[in-house]
Structure formats: C-alpha cells, structure tokens
Structure 1
Amino acid sequence: MNMLKEKLDRALEWVCFGLFVVLVATVAWQVFTRQILNSPSSWSEELAKYVFVWLGLFGAALVFGERGHIAVDFLVRRLPAAPQKAVGMLSHVLVLAFTALVLVYGGSSIASLAWEQTIPALPVSAGQMYLAIPVSGVLTLFYCAHHLVEIGAGRMDPLEAEQAEAL
C-alpha cells in the first residue's frame, strides 16, 4: 500500500504542477489579449476558473495525503498515547465519512446533474468540469484509508508531526 501511495503522490504532484502551468499560461494569455491586443479572449477566463478549482481540489487531496493540513491538536498532544491514537483514528473516520458523503456522493450527483449543461466558451460540459469533486474525493478517501491502516498498525504517529515555527 505504501508503494501505491508513493506512486499516487508523484502522479498527483505532476498533475498539480501541470494544472498550475496551464493556469499561469491561461491567465497570461488573458492579460495579453486584454491589455495588449484590446480584444479579450472569450475562453481564457472560464478555463482559468475551472483549472483553479481543479488545482485547489487536487492540491487539497495531495496535502491531506502528506498530512500537511491544518490541525489544532495542542490539547490532544497532552493526552497519553492510547487516547491520542483513538482521537487520531476518530478524526480520520470523520474525514472519511465527510469525504464519502460530500465529495464523492455529492460531487458525483452534481456532475451527473450538470453533464448535459454546456459551457459556451469551452468544448466540455459543466458535468465534466465538476468531475474534479468526486475524483479528489476518491483520492482523499484513499489517503484517509491509508492513514487509518498505518495509525492502527502503529506505523504512523496518530497526530501530524509538529512543524518548527519559522520566524
């Protein structure tokens, strides 16, 4: 499972990098056509909005996989090891339930409802663009399940490693 996670991490890093490059190029084109050519591009603003959303969702899944998300755990860190493990497992179960319900189920529902809705400026449907929601949800579910297994087996700290504060 660890090798699969590492490969998924690398693939997701490349996807996020690619999306960022597309976002920068699209916004640069938009600025160029608006400011230099005085003829704004009809598609660049729409594409930039959707690419930004995809980047945010996939980036959030990647950060969750790396356990880099925000955690307020100063009280939990004062507990003994067994309650820390229980709280760590419970928080991942809650994230798993939320992700399954909201991102995967809700995202799939909204994508299917909007599948036939066209985006005038782009050659794809709104439903295709909304697929980022359930796809990022599935990625987050995988990472969450991986963390649960690793925490349960004692191979992973139930709480994220403390980061040294930069001055």
Structure 2
Amino acid sequence: MNKIKQVMDKLLEIICVVVFSSMVISTTYQVVVRYVFNSPSAYSETITKYLFVWLILYSAAYVFGKREHISIGVLKNKLKGKNQQVVEILIEFIIIIFAVVVMVYGGFNVASMNMLQYDSILGIPTGFAYSCIPISGILIIFYSVYNLSTLLKKN
C-alpha cells in the first residue's frame, strides 16, 4: 500500500503542476490579448476557471495524502496515547463518510446530470468540469484508508 501511495502522490504532484502551469499560461495569454491586442479571449478565461477548480480539488486530495490539511486539533492535542488514537481514527472515518456521500455520490450525480449540458464557449459538456469532484473524492478516500491502516498498525 505504501508503493501505491507513493505513486499516487507523484501522479497528483505532476497533475497539480501541469494544471497550475496551464493556468499561468492561459492567464498570461488572456492578459496579453486583452491589453496588448484589445481583443479579450473568452476561451482562455473559461479554461482558466475550469483549471482553477481542478487545481483546488486535486491539491486538496494531495494535501489529505500528506496529512497536512487544516484541522482543529484542540481536542486531539489534549488527549494522549490510546484516546488520541481513537479520535484520529474517528476523524478519518468522518472524512471517509464525507468523501463518499458528498464528493463521490453527490459529485457523480452532478457530473452525470451536466453531461447533457454544453459549455457555450468551449462546446464541451459541463459535466466534464464537474468530474474532478468524484475523482478527488475517491483519492481522499484512498488516502484516509491509508491513514487508517497506518494508525491501526501503531497498536
């Protein structure tokens, strides 16, 4: 499972770098054509919006994998030993439930409902843009299961 996590980490790193670089290029293009040529591009603006959403969700999954996400550790930090481990396990289960219900199930429903609606600028199904929600949900579930297995091995 360690090897799979390392591959997932590397893959997400590459995806995030490519998406961010694409955003920079698209935004730079938008600024140049808007202010130099006085002819704004609707394509680059729309692409940048989609890329920004993808960057946020895939980066969130990556941060969950690194266990560097924002958490309120007031209760967890006051506990020691077994009690702290129980709270950490409970937190991972809550994350899994959220990811399954909201991100995977809800995200899949939203993405599939929007596959018949096309973006007016790009001409692609808007469900394509929403597809990153269930994908990042699956990645977060994988990382939470990995974290759970790590926590349970501490016994």
Place the TM-score, normalised by the shorter chain, in its bin: over 0.9
The amino acid across from 2:5 in the alignment is K
Unaligned runs of 5+ in 1: 156-167
Give the secondary-structure state (helix, strand or coil) at the position aligned to 2:39.
Answer: coil
User: How far is the alpha carbon of 1:149 from its aligned partner?
Assistant: 0.8
User: How far is the alpha carbon of 1:74 from its aligned partner?
Assistant: 3.4
Unaligned runs of 5+ in 2: none
- Identity among equivalent positions (%) equals 37
Determine the structure 2 residue equivalent to 1:25: 25
Report the Cα distance in structure 2 between the residues aligned to 1:19 and 1:110, rounded to whole angstroms: 22
What TM-score, normalized to structure 1? 0.90
Determine the structure 2 residue equivalent to 1:90: 90
User: How far is the alpha carbon of 1:76 from its aligned partner?
Assistant: 2.0
Determine the structure 1 residue equivalent to 2:50: 50
User: How far is the alpha carbon of 1:75 from its aligned partner?
Assistant: 3.2
Report the Cα distance in structure 2 between the residues aligned to 1:151 and 1:127, rounded to whole angstroms: 36
Cα RMSD between the aligned structures?
1.1
Report the Cα distance in structure 2 between the residues aligned to 1:78 and 1:128, rounded to whole angstroms: 44
Report the Cα distance in structure 1 between the residues aligned to 2:82 and 2:43, rounded to whole angstroms: 54
Residue range with higher mean Cα deviation, 30-39 or 115-124: 115-124
What TM-score, normalized to structure 2? 0.97
Report the Cα distance in structure 2 between the residues aligned to 1:57 and 1:36, rounded to whole angstroms: 33
CA displacement, residues 74-104 of structure 1 (integer Å, 9 cap, x when unaligned): 3322222011010000000000000100000
User: How far is the alpha carbon of 1:33 from its aligned partner?
Assistant: 0.8
Determine the structure 2 residue equivalent to 1:163: none
The amino acid across from 2:22 in the alignment is V
Query: How many residues are matched?
Result: 155
Structure 1 runs (4+) deviating above 6 angstroms are none
Determine the structure 1 residue equivalent to 2:138: 138
Which structure shows the bigger proportion of residues in helix conformation? 2
